Structure 1
């Protein structure tokens, strides 16, 4: 057990020691600048659905990311952003915003799904319905879940046509709310999990991931990469679902 813990914690400890995760300053002064990933209505007037991930604030960022989803109707100016927050009750928050791609308290987001046009328009209603039906809207546990990543993984599974291979650092994505088996978020595969502490995911877009004590590691043979706890993906970049890359 000591060896397993040492291997699992090596990545997060390296992230802290190397300065890859910023632990200085105060959250209120951290950058919230847009990353330029969300198209303006002038750039894309059609419906858009995007899914983001960014390192969590402070020392938690050494372990994992925060994920959220944003939608915009065709011709609309504002986006609708959905995510789960640790400091709010209920934890599930939906709000309008002009900048869904803002940095997450100093951490620039990465894009993991980008659906547009008719495909996006067909998803927006079901996304809103799934958000309203989320079974744990007032519950948040950073480890092993349910948390922000649990919510996004659950939402992906609920909405037909919405797929995204979440980062291996999305701690809590393997916490299943409705039994020990579920479809892999990438769309073709399966996740088996015991309360988010022990599990496995085998999927077309995830490859093979092992979940040990809530931290995941694995390998992606389709887009060759090694996946490590804390550190994340080493190798070929993941596909952005919705762009025809998956």
Structure 2
């Protein structure tokens, strides 16, 4: 009985300390850390990480990739999410936006990588090609992967010139080595 008391206590503590209990009302506002496409005319590559939703953020991050070609008015964002698979959609999604640095359901993102200028110009076609070849585009498993952290890691392995260094809490990033 005593050994279960600790587990129950931890579960209650984690749920009580959660800062965002409702994903519907959690902030998705821009964080203001991405270069504005109207001001930055050069090509841009950005990789972001934000704490995972709710108590999971104590242990793990969600990561995504944003690219903007030179003179483009918007970024193209690529990310992998599990709820898309549960809805019968591919895990990998692509969309355009002027604000690729939105809060991840209440968690402020941080830049994992930022490349601006000629090097970004050179690498963007290779990133787009790697996205098309992502082997787990229709799959999602929290642990060990493939998940939201597997995807950017895989892109980094396909385009080693990015010198991508994923955060320690990017659980599932090691799954990218399984290709």
Query: Which interval holds the TM-score relative to the shorter structure?
Result: 0.7 to 0.9
Moved more, 74-83 or 36-45: 36-45
Whole-Å separation in 1 of the counterparts to 2:69 and 2:16: 42
**CA drift at 1:163:** 1.8
Q: State yes or no: 1:61 paired with 2:57.
A: yes
* 2:24 aligned residue: 28
For the residue of structure 2 that corresponds to 1:80, the secondary structure is: strand
**CA drift at 1:55:** 0.7
Q: Per residue, is there more helix in 1 or in 2?
A: 2
Q: Per residue, is there more strand in 1 or in 2?
A: 1
* 2:154 aligned residue: 154
* 1:141 aligned residue: 141
How many residue pairs are counted as aligned between the two chains? 166
Q: Is the 8 A contact 1:16 1:62 kept in 2?
A: no
Q: Is the 8 A contact 1:82 1:92 kept in 2?
A: yes
Whole-Å separation in 2 of the counterparts to 1:90 and 1:42: 31
Higher relative contact order (CA 8 A, sep 6+): 2
* 1:16 aligned residue: 14
Q: Is the 8 A contact 1:51 1:112 kept in 2?
A: yes
Q: Which runs of 5+ in 1 are unaligned?
A: 1-11, 179-246
* 2:101 aligned residue: 101
* 1:83 aligned residue: 79
* 1:212 aligned residue: none
For the residue of structure 1 that corresponds to 2:77, the secondary structure is: strand
Q: Is the 8 A contact 1:123 1:160 kept in 2?
A: no
- The within-5 A match list for 1:30-49 is 30-49=26-45
Whole-Å separation in 2 of the counterparts to 1:122 and 1:53: 23
Moved more, 118-127 or 156-165: 156-165
CA root-mean-square deviation? 2.1
User: Taking structure 2 as the reference length, what is the TM-score of the superposition?
Assistant: 0.86
Q: State yes or no: 1:131 paired with 2:131.
A: yes
Q: Could you list the per-position Cα deviations for residues 51-96 of structure 1 after superposition, in whole angstroms to 9, with x for gaps in the alignment?
A: 0000111232222000001000111111000110101121011111
Q: Is the 8 A contact 2:20 2:106 kept in 1?
A: no
Q: Could you list the per-position Cα deviations for residues 115-171 of structure 1 after superposition, in whole angstroms to 9, with x for gaps in the alignment?
A: 011000111101110000001111100111110101111110101411221111100
Whole-Å separation in 2 of the counterparts to 1:137 and 1:104: 20
Q: Which runs of 5+ in 2 are unaligned?
A: 1-9
**CA drift at 1:38:** 0.8
